[in-house]
Amino acid sequence: MANPASYRPKTGEIPTNPGVYRFRDPHGRVIYVGKAKSLRSRLNSYFANPAGLLPKTYAMVHAASSVEWTVVGSELESLQLEYTWIKEFKPRFNVVFRDDKTYPYLAVTMSEKYPRVQVMRGDKRKGTRYFGPYTAGAIRETMDTLLRVFPVRSCSAGVFKRAEASGRPCLLGYIDKCSAPCVGRISPADHRELADDFCAFMGGEAKRFINKLEKQMAGAVAKLDYEHAARLRDDITALRKVFERNAVVLSEDTDADVFALHEDELEAAVQVFHVRGGRIRGQRGWVVEKVEDFTTPDLVEHLLQQVYGEDGDTHGRLPREVLVPVAPSNPEDLAVWLGGIRGAKVDIRVPQRGDKAALMSTVRENAEHALKLHKTRRAGDITVRSQALQELQEALDLPVPLLRIECFDVSHVQGTNVVASMVVVEDGLPKKSDYRKFSITGAAASDDTAAMHDVLTRRFRHYLQDKSAQVDASVLEADGQEEPPDAAVLDTTTPAPKAKFAYPPNLVVVDGGQPQVNAAARALKDLGIDDVYVVGLAKRLEEVWLPDSDFPVVLPRTSQGLYLLQRIRDEAHRFAITFHRQKRGKAMTVSALDAVPGLGASKRKALLAHFGSVKGVKAATAEELAEAKGIGPALAGAIVNHFAAEGPEAVTVPAINMATGEIIET
């Protein structure tokens, strides 16, 4: 760990202007981003008395090896630049609001030709409208009820294509819970209008649709069409069931997000109620570890930055009003920033009395309960992870803490479709965004050791290239040189392209014994990397092998460090097997047409549809081939020349699905 005094800037060198600062580790990775009204005052606080810092702040300043800053013109600019850098670099020591549970959303994929209603979790996608979050049971019931009135498509792409090909709708089409656009019962324009109505209802316009159906029901009764009136009555009942499920808490014209938090010295829990049309439409929660000695206004500011900066739209739209427990730091600038995201004014208010203050109290109770529950669930996990990492470091006699571990595994079937996987663990937890897959071909696919050497070489060659690029980019600034007159202006608002392998692990784990470990160590040595340690975990006896060692390290069967290695190894194996099966599945269907240059999948299908078989394609002349859809004279000539080069005795190989044994073409 670095000594903060070794990179502490001189007090006179630090400006007193507002700005944004970045701490970097020895590998050049940004590990913390912050902003300050006075850079000098804030940065000096990190170095004056490190022993008095919070534990996570203490770890951050000792993990860093340098600090840099950028002066800005105003508080608003510092807010925007801080958010941009946090989003770009994803520093591991910054405050990150992680959900205390996974919430499903009701989503409508408006970007598709036939929009689809479905339940979604995880990252939000462009062109999709989201409503929620809901509890798992409530969202299914809501979706099932609304499809009765708004029969929007809800099937997957595969089901839709099968129904389209067969000309028969799925079960939902037969029971009138889908308008069946797959078989042409509704036009694309009418189906999109139906999806728009679904979104409008979920967006708070329920009364408009209920009133419309009531008028239609009255008209049906007047015409003595009691059967139609009964169906409309049931539709009205369904809509009211969804509409009245959420209690009315505020006036009907109120759209607001109500935030509350409960905190202690190290962590804080946040809860938000999404109120639309005066009703609670959803609830969401986060738990955060404190890094700096944050005040509550600082936490509120970072919370709103992340919630609305990442999602931009947490409940179909950013509301007119955001209710918070205390005013955030720089409330005026933050309101301007949020207004730019929404495209209209956003009020940030602290409710003092009345219904909104009462609702804030309820949200605060939820936050208090969430923090207690989080601590109960996480206490054991944190202890076990720390114990596992410490045991592993001591058993392997490593001089550095194991902040990042990468594990590699090779998968194949008798030397075919050779692939490899890389999984990443940081602080004992998987980091799936950094997982990687490798396809291995040529001489490297000859055996496991060659494949392992190839994979490690490729992974760390990328790291060296990224590191070299970072060094080149910082030479001018480090040397105090001026940029040439025609240099481009630095863009501080657009995130830079994400580096493929931004920094190295402390430990590389390979699935295998001494041969695989030696191959991995040789790859690192060939690249000149000597600060990354390598071990292997052999499956048979779960032995830990070190490079150039005749005897393995045997960890106790009850060791948490061994359990951690096993979990990492099993995850790498699962990831490699999944990729291998995908690659093998694509190779299962073979055809004599695959080898024709310039003949893609769609044109192969067109030829088979036109001639009926590969044999028919081979027997056709260039003029006959050109009659098929998408086949021009040049491509037709290439097809004829290709099969002529095979010779008259060439055997026609049928296309076979290796998984089922079914002959696809003859």
Dump pLDDT digits (tens) for 189-225: 999 999 998 888 777 677 778 888 888 888 888 888 8
Q: What pLDDT is stored for residue 596 in this prediction?
A: 78
Position 492 scores a pLDDT of 42
Q: How far apart are CA 617 and CA 610, in angstroms?
A: 9
Q: Identify the pLDDT of residue 664.
A: 45
Residues whose CB falls within 8 Å of the CB of residue 438, separated by 6 or more in sequence, listed in order: 419, 420, 421, 422, 454, 455, 458, 459
The CB-side HSE value for 116 (13 A sphere, CA atoms) comes to 13
Q: Are 162 and 205 in contact (CB under 8 A)?
A: no
- Give the residue among 271, 259, 260, 279 at the shortest CA–CA distance from 131: 279
CB 213 within 8 A of CB 236: yes
Closest CA to 508 of 376, 413, 405, 584: 405
> Sign of dihedral through CA atoms 211, 217, 219, 222?
negative
Using CB atoms within 10 Å of the CB of residue 429, give its burial: 0 to 12 exposed, 13 to 18 middle, 19+ buried: exposed
Write the single-letter amino acid at 273.
F
- For residue 483, give Cα distances in angstroms to 73, 170, 424, 479, 480: 21, 64, 38, 11, 9
Report field, pTM of the whole predicted structure over 0.75: no
Q: Give the CA angle between residues 659, 660, 663 to the nearest 5°.
A: 110
User: Order of strands across the sheet with 98-99?
Assistant: 98-99, 279-289, 267-276, 256-263, 321-323, 347-349
**Backbone φ and ψ of 250, nearest 5°:** -135, 175
Give the pLDDT confidence score for residue 312 in this predicted structure.
Answer: 46
- Which residues have C-beta within 8 Å of that of residue 474, sequence separation ≥ 6? 28
Q: For the chain, list residues with pLDDT below 50.
A: 100, 312-316, 476-478, 480-496, 649-666
Q: What are phi and psi of 127, to 5 degrees?
A: 85, 10
Q: Give the per-residue pLDDT at 323.
A: 92
Q: Write down all domains in the chain, each with its CATH number in brackets.
A: 4-94 (3.40.1440.10), 105-243 (no CATH), 256-372 (3.30.420), 404-482+492-585 (3.30.420.340), 592-665 (1.10.150.20)
> How high is the pLDDT of residue 408?
92
Q: What pLDDT was estimated at residue 495?
A: 46
